[in-house]
């Protein structure tokens, strides 16, 4: 596909799956992802044992845009709904991480 693209010769060329989103202002998410990308580059430069997965967000107007599809990922809404059904109460991301990775007090155990 790259060979047949008139932009295939560019170093920044890449093929990406995207989600087209409308009815949402993605400008704040786009800015947040720019900050996450910056933090990721700092972590790599300082050789830390931290890992982030920045992805592309492009706000094309005030109420729509494109979001790069992240394979093998699940949404925050799905996590909250699944955890709430499992525990029969409202849950948050802390509940999810505690269930899957243990509580902070168990870290050194």
d(CA 90, CA 53): 28
pTM over 0.85: no
d(CA 13, CA 50): 27
| Domains by residue range for the chain, with CATH | 1-72 (3.30.1010.10), 73-103 (no CATH)
Q: What does the pLDDT read at residue 92?
A: 81
- In the Cβ-directed half-sphere of 81, how many Cα atoms lie within 13 Å? 5
Q: Give per-residue pLDDT as tens, 11-24.
A: 999 888 999 999 99
Q: Dihedrals φ, ψ of 19, to 5°?
A: -105, 130
Q: Give per-residue pLDDT as tens, 24-80.
A: 999 999 999 999 999 999 999 999 998 899 999 999 999 999 999 988 888 888 888
Q: Do 38 and 25 touch, CB atoms closer than 8 A?
A: no
d(CA 12, CA 52): 20
Task: Give, in degrees to the nearest 5, the angle at Cα 18 between 14 and 20.
Answer: 140
């Amino acid at each position: 596909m790259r060979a047949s693209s008139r932009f295939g010769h560019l170093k920044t060329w890449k093929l990406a799956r995207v989600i087209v989103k409308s009815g949402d202002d993605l400008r704040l998410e786009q800015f947040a992802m720019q900050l996450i990308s910056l933090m990721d580059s700092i972590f790599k430069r300082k050789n830390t044992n931290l890992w982030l997965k920045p992805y592309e967000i492009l706000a094309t107007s005030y109420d729509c845009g494109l979001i790069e599809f992240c394979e093998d990922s699940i949404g925050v809404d799905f996590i909250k709904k699944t955890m709430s059904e499992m525990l029969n109460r409202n849950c948050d991301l802390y509940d999810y991480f505690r269930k899957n990775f243990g509580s902070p007090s168990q870290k050194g155990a």
